[in-house]
Amino acid sequence: MKNNKYLRITIFVFLLTSCVPFHEDVEYCYWIHNNSEKEIYIMVSFIYPDTSIPNISTYKEILPKSKKGYCLTEPWNDAIKDLPADTFSLFVFDSEIINRVKSGTINWEEVQEKYLILKRKDISADVIRSEKKIEYP
């Protein structure tokens, strides 16, 4: 049963970060704004209140001073009903860290153990539904 729960969460994370066409007027789409001067990578986790970095290294790139749109494949209420909380964590990583993971200089376990993030934001579904954007920093 526990494996089934993690499988559903994994599928949900994949669907959230997949390339579904972005439509600003759809309830379950939102923007992530990178207001910094550096390229960042983001990862979403739906195991809140556990704020550890997930085992799955699925991240998306956002260039400096740009934004990227993301859509769920279903409305928020349907998407979050089986999750531990109506809150998700957004992890922001420096591109240098992710590039080191890609090159094999460090492994994902080291990123997790040392908590090598720039920032973590815990965001409720209500906030994302009303604001439809997340800003970094």
What is the pLDDT confidence band of residue 129, given thresholds at 50, 70 and 90?
confident
Tokens of 67: 């934004």
Check whether 103 has a pLDDT greater than 90: yes
Distance CA 91, CA 93 (A): 7
Task: Tell me the three state secondary structure of residue 17.
Answer: helix
What string of DSSP letters covers 53-94? PPSS---EEE-TTEEEEEE-SS-HHHHHTTSSSSEEEEEEEE
pLDDT of residue 131: 87
pLDDT of residue 6: 52
pLDDT(81) > 60? yes
pLDDT tens string 9-59: 555 554 454 444 545 556 678 899 999 999 999 998 989 999 999 998 789
**Looking at residue 102, what is its pLDDT?**
95
List, for residues 71-80, the tens digit of each pLDDT value.
877 877 787 7
Here the tokens at position 36 are: 């910094």
Q: In DSSP terms, which residues pair with 61 in a beta bridge?
A: 41
